[in-house]
Each structure stands twice: as C-alpha cells, then as structure tokens.
Structure 1
Amino acid sequence: MSFLEIIAFIVPNALFYAAPLIFTGLGTVFTERSGVTNIGAEGLMQIGAFTAIVFNLAMADVLSSMTLWVAILVAMVVSMIFSLLLAVASVTFRADQIVTGVAINFLALGLTLFLVKKLFDGHGQTPMIQERILRFDIPYLSEIPIIGPIFFENVYLTSYLAILAAIIGWIVLYKTPFGLRLRSVGEHPMAADTMGIKVNRMRYIGVMISGALAGIGGAIYAQSISLDYSHATISGQGFMAIAAMIFGKWNPLGMMGAAIFFGFAQSLSTVGSSLPIIEDIPSVYLFILPYVLTILAIAGFIGKSEAPKALNIPYVKGNR
C-alpha cells in the first residue's frame, strides 16, 4: 500500500469518526461561551442516539431513504428539550453546574436503557437499523488528481456537514450581534445586563443550542457507527467533545481541529489492522488510544486555555 493510498484510507475514516464530536463539541462551545458548564454532553448524545434509532426502526418502512435524516431532526428536537433540565437547574435555580451535568448523564443513561427494555421486550439493546448513513463519491471532485481520492472519494456527507456547521458556528459566534451578546454574558454578565441583554435568556439559548447539536451528534454516531442503541453506544464521545472544546480554546474552528484529531485516533482502532505501519500493534492499545489522548489533552491544555470568565458562575442580578 502506497503512502497516498494510506492517506486516502485514513482521512475519510478520521472525518467520519470526527463528525459526531464536531457537532457535540460545537454545542458545548456555545453553552460554555454563555457561562454554563456542560458536563452533560454525554447524556445529551445518548438521548439523541436513542431517539434516532427508535425513530429509524419505527419509520423506515414509511420514509425509506429519508428516514435517517428525519431521525436526525427528531433527535435534535428531543435532545434540545431534554437539555432544558440543565438550563432550569443551573440557570433558574442556580444549582451547581458540574453536579447538574453529571446528573443529566446518569439520567439519560438510565432513562434510555429503561425505555429500550420497555419497547423491545426486555432486551438491553435495539435491533440493527437498515437505513444508515452510507459512503459516496462526490461527482467531478473525486476525479481530481491526488486530493480527489483523499477528500472526495468514498466519503460520508455528515463529515462535510459537520465541518460546515463548525464554520457557520464560528461566523455566528464572532461575526454577528447574537454571538457578541452570547459571549458577553459568559465574560461579564453584569456589564451585559447593564446594556439591556437578558443574561438568563441568553444562557437558556446557549444550553438549548448545545442540546440540539449534541442530539445531532448522537444521532449521527448511532446511525453510522453503532447502528443500534444500548447502554454502551455512546461510550465517552461526549467527554471527547468536551476535551476537543478545551483543546480548541472554546473556539469552533479550534474545536473542529481537535475533534478531527480525536476522530483520527478513533479510526485507528478500526482500520489500524489494515495499515502496514501499525498493523502489529495490539488492538487493545488502539482502542484505548482516543481516551488516553483525551486525558492528555485536558491535562496538558486546561491550564493554558482561557475559559470564559463567568463560566460556572450563576448570575444573580445586582451582585458584583
């Protein structure tokens, strides 16, 4: 296998695994830029994955090839509604945001597993879906020498939708009045309040955006990688997305780069045995590589990355 063939084999797989992380990480950027810590990204991904799989199984005969895309939209809405639990607890009642996020993770895991057993005759996981996200070649672009086989051949549409979402997220956050207001309530909520910006409303919006995007991330993961739902379908991807956000310094484009890096590490666990360079490495080491890199990223960059100044601090009107 030539070097070009190795690159053409690795890149689409890295982007494939990165797509759910990019969507979820983008959501955490928005909510944390508003001043709310979102440890519950893992749970929100689980809600999205569960909803998408159940909807896919129920509606595949009716919607056919459109099933998976409608399932993503339904998962987005359900996860966004579920995220209101985080918003109500941490913004309205000013509960500890870390504890609330952990509670969201446990609740999502327990609730989805309970519903799976209720809906599927006591089984701990759903049947496999038939309508799934598939690879395709981008016409004309895939014929470009060198870069065509790497970036436009045998790819997943969700990979490029995720990249587009990160770019749009950066534009919204840094080039629009809405983004300025959102960042202001995460940096100096009292000053924002003085300027007439409703701090709690903006934080609610940030949390709901996070819920929607995490739901999309979970739905994409479930319908392209796992193809079913069980308690182990989402196993650390939400925390990887949080690590990508920290690694990327709370910037959508930086987060995207970190997510692609983690996606590359995840892809090695499945394609490593086919690569001549690392085929002799025991598979167990490749499987734990993404989690080790997540720990190293957080340990190495959390002290060097500057978080929003009002992050994890409930806003009480009139307090300095």
Structure 2
Amino acid sequence: MNTLSAPLTPPAVETGLVTRNWKAPIVLGIFTVIFAILVVLAPRDGETTFRISTGSDAIVLPDLIVPVIAAVWICIAIAAALAGLAAVFVQRHRKVPLWLTTVFVVVLVFAFLAWAAAGQTIPVPGLLAGSLALAVPLIFGALGGVIGERVGVVNIAIESQLLGGAFTAAVVATLTGSPFLGLIAAMVAGALVASVLAAFAIVYFVEQVIVGVVLNVLVTGLTSFLYSQVLQPNAAQLNTPPRFDRIPIPLLSDIPVLGPVLFRQTILVYIMYVAIFAVYFAMFHTRWGLRMRAVGEHPKAADTVGINVGRTRFWNVLLAGAIAGAGGTVFTVGNGIAFNQEMTAGAGYIALAAVIFGQWHPLRATLAALLFGFASNLQNTLKVVGSPVPSEFMLMLPYLVTIFVVAGAVGKSRAPAADGIPYIKS
C-alpha cells in the first residue's frame, strides 16, 4: 500500500487524544486544599443527621447519621484522589470526564454539609426541592442561552428576558386571573426583548454584547418605572397574580427523596422537564438542530448549501427569548408573588454562566443550573437548622460556585466558532 496516498490523520484525532489542559485538576486540588484548611482552622465535632424521607413517602427510609470528623476527612481524601485522577487524565492527553467533576462536587458538598450542620438534622428532600425551585428560572434561561449561542448570537440579555417575563406574567395573570395566560404573555415578552437583540445584532451588525447589556439596563429601568408609577398605586388590580397549583403525579410522587422533589411540582416545572428534553432532542436529532448548529459553527458553509443564515439566526433568537421569558414566570406567577423591582437579582447572568459551564450543551447547562440553585438554597437550609457558619459566607456561596466554574472546573470549553460574529454575506 502506498502510504502517501492514505489520508493524513492527526494523531490526536486518530487516538482521541486532546491537548493537555491542567485547569481542571488544579482547580479541583485548590478547592480540596481550601476545604481541608477550613476544617483544620474551624474543627467541628459530633454527628450530623441527614433526613432522607418525608412522612408522606410510600417507603420511609431511615435517617443517615454520620460522625462529622470521620466523614469530613474521608471525603477530603476522596476529593484529593479525584483531583489526582483528573491529573492522570490530563497527563495522558485525555479530557477530564464530566462524571469525575460531578462526583467531586457531590463528595465535597456532602462533606461541607456534614461539617456545617454538626449536631443538627438536614432535611434532604426539602434541601433538594428548594434547590430545584431556585434552579427553574436558571434552567429556562440557560436553555435560551444555549439556543442563542449555538446559532451564533451571544445572549447577554437573558436577565432582561427573565425580568420582562416576570413583569408581564404578573400583570396579565392578575388582569385575567389565569396563570396560564400569564405564562404565554411572559413568553411573548421574552421574545419581544429578543427581537430587539436580533434586529440590532443580525440585521444591523451591532456588537452583540453591548446590545445585550443595554437591553438589561433598559428593561430594568422600564419595569422599575412601571412598578413605581403603575403597579404600586394599583397593586390590587394589577399586581396580585394567582399561582400555579402543585400537581402530584400518582405513584411517582411517593418515591422516597426523588418523589417529593421532582413529582410534586407545578405545571411550570413539568413544562421545564419537557423543554429540556425537547431542546436536546431537536438540537442533535432533527434537521432544525443541524441547520442551527451549522449556522453557529460555519455560517458561510451553511449559506453555500442554501441555508438562510440571517433568518435562521433571527427566529432562533426569538425562540430563545420566549423560553427565557417563560423562566421569568417563576418569579411571580410560579410562586404567587407580586412583581417587585429587579426581582430577578442577576439570575440571567448566572444562567449565562451555566451555559458556559455546560459547554453550550442543553443537558450539561441544566446540571450547571441545578448546581447554582443548590448553592443558593444551601444558605437558607443551614440558617434554618441553626448552623454557626456566618451568614455572610453563605451569601457568598453561589458566587464562589460561579468562580469555581469560570476558573475551569470542567477543563477547556469551546464556544461555537461563529458565536458573536456577525455574518455579512459577500
């Protein structure tokens, strides 16, 4: 066989090897060392009880009682071993697998809970249910962000889409008495905000990040003005939204731990489950998804085969805005809470971090959003059980997790090649 006629395949592609990137093992090691130092400087003794089941579960599982000192140091040893294993993967030119980072996070979180709640009882179903509740708007926002960036448009405006959805849902649901109409209105509001982003970024080639930041400021100012001038004086008529009722799913809702968390929810959460699967399936298993990803990776090639790049980007950005707008419903109609100024509190930026953490993949972005929701709810749980951990530290926790993610806990991330780059047809 003539070797010169054989196709030349780079060794890295042929063997599945990747360029060494030491960020992941370094970050895992640093967090392990920081936690070990924390335990040494502030030792805790006694036992921590993890309540696994609720009284309404079909099968009531016994509480898990762990000795704090032993549990913490065993978890630190496991975390150190995982950091070392990550280094081995990198040394062998292998990508650090997602399961390794996930196990590391679970082990370190378990150790932190055992240490922080020494002598107390942690209701695990309540902790997880609260985490899911806080993660729902982040998941909707992250799904919208994934769609927008996969098609080549940086969606910094997720925050404004969530806030606009929250405002519109509260007003429409109050006027009509229907939370479902409030949800639809929120999606329309999110799509309208996204249409402004799409028009300036795709049609007029304005810098996408700047447009997104301006939209966030604009919607924040507009909703704050309308709240103070219109909603507050007429709160009973315009700002007392109904809420979605919880709908337990028979049999599934009785499963220990997972039942109360996943299957005793409102229709909005069940819609979120469907949206996660639908976005994943459509993105990777349909012609729409193939066209969308082609436009985000190589718009010129997509244009060559007959795909209208501008139109594909425009309509997908609107779809992303509608999904993010649905997430805004959680802040008002989802919980039956009146709209308040800036009530999204930066959730859109956290959702954007989840997109990057999830490497522009809908399922991974969902897991990242769940992690952020868990970090946010952890401070509430520890406050309820009377943990002596300073409240200021707990308020920092969600942002520490964000830093952990951005610092490179998942290794090297590559955005779609044409993300943020306007396409000017030659």
TM-score by length of 1: 0.89
Q: 2:277 aligns with which of 150, 160, 167?
A: 167
The residue aligned with 2:171 is 54
Cα shift at 1:155: 3.5
Paired AA for residue 51 in structure 2: F
Give the root-mean-square deviation of aligned CA atoms.
Answer: 2.4
Per-residue CA deviations over 1:241-270 (Å, capped at 9, x if unaligned) read 111111000000001111111111122233
**How do 1:1-320 and structure 2 match up within 5 A?**
2-5=50-53, 6-60=123-177, 67-120=178-231, 129=240, 131-145=242-256, 147-152=258-263, 154-225=264-335, 227-275=337-385, 279-300=387-408, 304-318=412-426
Greater helix percent: which structure? 1
Range 220-229 or range 306-315, more displaced: 220-229
Size of the aligned set, in residue pairs, is 309
Per-residue CA deviations over 1:116-156 (Å, capped at 9, x if unaligned) read 223135699x986351234453222223356434543x444
Paired AA for residue 239 in structure 1: Y
Cα shift at 1:280: 2.2
Per-residue CA deviations over 1:198-249 (Å, capped at 9, x if unaligned) read 0010110121011101110111222235812222301110011111111000
Paired AA for residue 208 in structure 1: L
Between the two proteins, what is the percent identity of the paired residues? 37
CA distance in 2, matches of 1:275, 1:136: 28
Q: 1:105 to 1:148 in 2, by over 3 A?
A: closer
Show structure 2 runs of 5+ residues with no match.
Answer: 1-48, 54-122
Q: 1:150 to 1:119 in 2, by over 3 A?
A: closer
Q: 1:129 to 1:301 in 2, by over 3 A?
A: farther
Q: 1:303 to 1:142 in 2, by over 3 A?
A: closer
CA distance in 2, matches of 1:147, 1:96: 44
Show structure 1 runs of 5+ residues with no match.
Answer: 61-66
CA distance in 2, matches of 1:290, 1:233: 17
Q: 1:7 to 1:155 in 2, by over 3 A?
A: farther
TM-score by length of 2: 0.68
Structure index of larger Rg: 2
The residue aligned with 1:64 is none
CA distance in 2, matches of 1:179, 1:16: 29
Assess if the C-alpha contact under 8 Å between 1:12 and 1:155 holds in 2.
no
Assess if the C-alpha contact under 8 Å between 1:116 and 1:123 holds in 2.
no
Per-residue CA deviations over 1:42-69 (Å, capped at 9, x if unaligned) read 0111110110111122222xxxxxx112
Q: 1:2 to 1:120 in 2, by over 3 A?
A: closer
Query: Secondary structure of the equivalent of 2:338?
Result: coil
Per-residue CA deviations over 1:57-107 (Å, capped at 9, x if unaligned) read 2222xxxxxx11210111101220221110011100000011010001001
Assess if the C-alpha contact under 8 Å between 1:7 and 1:150 holds in 2.
no
Cα shift at 1:13: 1.5
Query: Secondary structure of the equivalent of 1:255?
Result: helix
CA distance in 1, matches of 2:260, 2:199: 48
CA distance in 2, matches of 1:123, 1:146: 42
